[in-house]
Amino acid sequence: MTDPQTSRRGFLRDTAVVAGALSATAIPSVHAQGSDTIKVGVIGCGGRGTGAAENCADSAPGVKIYAMGDLFPDHLDNSRKRLKSALGDRYDVADTRAFSGFDAYKKVIDSDVDLVILATPPGFRPQMIEYTVEKGKNLFTEKPVGVDGTGIRKVLAAYEKAKEKNLAIVAGTQRRHQAPYIESMKRIHEGEIGELVGGRCYWNQGALWHKDKLSEWSEMEWQVRNWLYFTWLSGDHIVEQHVHNLDVINWAFQQTPTRAVALGGRQQRTDPVYGQIFDHFATDLEYANGVHVLSMARQIPGCENNVSEALVGTKGTWNSNGFRFTGESRTRIREMGTNPYVQEHTDLIASIRAGKPLNELKTVAESTLTAIMCRMSAYTGKAVTWEQALNSKEDTFPKNLEFGPNAVPPVAIPGVTELI
């Protein structure tokens, strides 16, 4: 699901390098510094995993795709073929380093790789992040990094361990590596539009792909292949997609929201093939000092589309749609910079080689929890505080992770579904 604002084709590849967010303090790297080859293991070889592997190989010299793993052998094979033809000798995945099954991730991480790319459905992320950090590997993790409070607590614990081990971690919230966003946030933090007093963010679009159930698939296999529509796998689309926009708002405010009051439901996408998720959400997010931000996330065809963020300050406004400032400066940022899907890997690898590891895991965990908090409020009809979301006992991960039956909870009904 490529975001319209960051479509790969939309970027000039050879313009100035985005001002990196490398940390200022030199810390010894876990990977040998300098220009040694970085061996990459890819876990989750679908659209984004395959794309991220290419982006990573393109992002710096001396990067090799070295091991790969996917739950499904057919996905693994397709991805291997594509990478072999796209990358030439930067693809070095012997058959002995290509794995399938639910434990494929462990085998990839244990394959003498320096850097792991995680691009499975988000429900698997906490266990995979934990194992990556336990084994002392650097990480590129796609967003979101979990789907419930239980998973996010594991990710936050892994963040602390990764800091102790000086591991580099970059997340697929690529706006943080996109030149006009970086320049916008710099100016906003310097006070160009004054004190922030409000904002709004949207991911409103039409339908995405879905997969009908084949008779030879167990319920579990179908759910994982049709993962967008099950909360335990995607977190619902507010978590899976809208996390990008909420991340920009948290970045602008330099804090996380204190409370969410959300509405949502399933108006058009009611067929069981669409699992249990909603097709629309609207949330009133509250930040410190009573500042409110309106968030909307919709996946309904035939409606108005809008993927953007906007801020209101005491001296002007900013909108990511055109990167326009109003108020005193009345300017527009026109320099689009490099492709952020490549730049995020360039920044990650530079930080590893310089021994100054970036670590974005806490930030992306907080943005993911922001989206989870909105979903919890919409599903239950209750106001949900940050603490309630963070300490929630909700644990959506299946007790038996194997191909076979896997019951899913019914579609949530506000006012009936309990807050846990």
Ligand X SMILES: NC(=O)c1ccc[n+]([C@@H]2O[C@H](COP(=O)([O-])OP(=O)(O)OC[C@H]3O[C@@H](n4cnc5c(N)ncnc54)[C@H](O)[C@@H]3O)[C@@H](O)[C@H]2O)c1
Task: Catalog residues that contact ligand X under the rule CB under 6 A.
Answer: 1-3, 43-49, 69-72, 75, 102, 104-105, 119-122, 124, 142-143, 172, 174, 224, 240
CA angle 18, 345, 305 (to 5 degrees): 75
Residue number, nearest CB to ligand X: 46
Closer to ligand X by CB, 44 or 357: give it. Answer: 44
Half-sphere exposure of 174 (CA within 13 A, CB side): 23
Closer to ligand X by CB, 49 or 257: give it. Answer: 49
Pairing of strands 196-205, 292-299: parallel
- β-partners of residue 311 are 199, 318
Residue type, 38: I
Cα dist from 420 to 235, 285, 300, 388, whole Å: 15, 20, 28, 8
We find the least distance from the C-beta atom of residue 241 to ligand X, in angstroms, to be 7
We find the least distance from the C-beta atom of residue 291 to ligand X, in angstroms, to be 27
Closer to ligand X by CB, 284 or 395: give it. Answer: 395
Which residues, in sequence order, are CB contacts of 400 under 8 Å at separation 6+?
406
Closer to ligand X by CB, 42 or 296: give it. Answer: 42
Closer to ligand X by CB, 174 or 388: give it. Answer: 174
Q: Hunting for tokens 């001296």 — which residue is that?
A: 315
Closer to ligand X by CB, 213 or 292: give it. Answer: 213
Number of other CB atoms surrounding residue 350 within 10 Å: 17
We find the least distance from the C-beta atom of residue 142 to ligand X, in angstroms, to be 4
Phi-psi category of residue 268: left, alpha or beta, with phi > 0 → left and psi -120 to 50 → alpha: alpha
We find the least distance from the C-beta atom of residue 197 to ligand X, in angstroms, to be 30
Residue type, 237: H
The residue length of the chain stands at 420
We find the least distance from the C-beta atom of residue 63 to ligand X, in angstroms, to be 19
We find the least distance from the C-beta atom of residue 259 to ligand X, in angstroms, to be 26
Q: Mark out the alpha helices in 116-178 (DSSP H runs).
A: 125-134, 149-164
We find the least distance from the C-beta atom of residue 377 to ligand X, in angstroms, to be 21
Closer to ligand X by CB, 209 or 418: give it. Answer: 209
Maximum distance among all alpha carbons in the chain? 63
We find the least distance from the C-beta atom of residue 388 to ligand X, in angstroms, to be 24
- How far is it, in rounded angstroms, from Cα 384 to Cα 259? 6
CA-nearest of 250, 383, 229, 257 to 309 is 250
Closer to ligand X by CB, 54 or 70: give it. Answer: 70
